Structure 1
């Protein structure tokens, strides 16, 4: 077998939920009565998104990249992996396969 056998992923999950939440909380402090319900709902949405597992965040990202590449079939199909690698040429085959599987699992959930 070729390779070192590591399952390293080159895709880093970036989460801005804490920073976005801080900005929303600051806005809530000075919000009028009409704005408060919307800002409170936005804070709840940000809190929910912050708790998503990394695999789900990667899966959503990969699914968007696959669909943007024109693939409309199953997200874990060979054609989906090809579309993902065309969209992101720096991904290895192993990484693209794993990401497409995460995308399919995220879509199914």
Structure 2
């Protein structure tokens, strides 16, 4: 699956694919017919899906960027030059501007967590 599209350099196009609604409906359907042994796991899944549905596109992009930065072994801030390089290497079709913006969204999530405002899933 491709998450990124390349448009003009000055445009920033990142497609976020969300299927949480469909998955949530499937979990709700399963809950309606679940036996007592299945119910706790399905209820937990429903809570997790509700959290995912509340996640903004910027948070999804920032979390993706943070994973790619971590996979590359980059230490330090998510908006550092090595982090931007790691993002571009993870998705070669990204422009420098797109990679910088993704790194900024990742850094914003780091700042929120440091300030104690981040959500956990």
**Shorter-chain TM-score tier:** 0.7 to 0.9
User: Which of 64, 70, 88 does residue 61 from structure 1 map onto?
Assistant: 64
User: In 2, distance between residues paired with 1:72 and 1:23?
Assistant: 39
Structure 2 partner of 1:16 = 19
Task: State the Cα distance separating 1:102 from its structure 2 match.
Answer: 0.3
User: Which of 82, 94, 97 does residue 91 from structure 1 map onto?
Assistant: 94
Structure 2 portions without partners, runs of 5+: 1-7, 113-121
Structure 1 portions without partners, runs of 5+: none
TM-score (norm. length: structure 1): 0.87
User: Which of 47, 51, 61 does residue 48 from structure 1 map onto?
Assistant: 51
> Would you identify which runs of 4 or more consecutive aligned residues in structure 1 move more than 4 Å?
none
TM-score (norm. length: structure 2): 0.79
Q: Which moved more, 1:38-47 or 1:91-100?
A: 38-47
The alignment partner of 1:50 has SS state of helix
Q: Give a deviation string over 1:51-76, Cα, whole Å, max 9, x none.
A: 11110110001111111122122111
Q: How many residues align?
A: 105
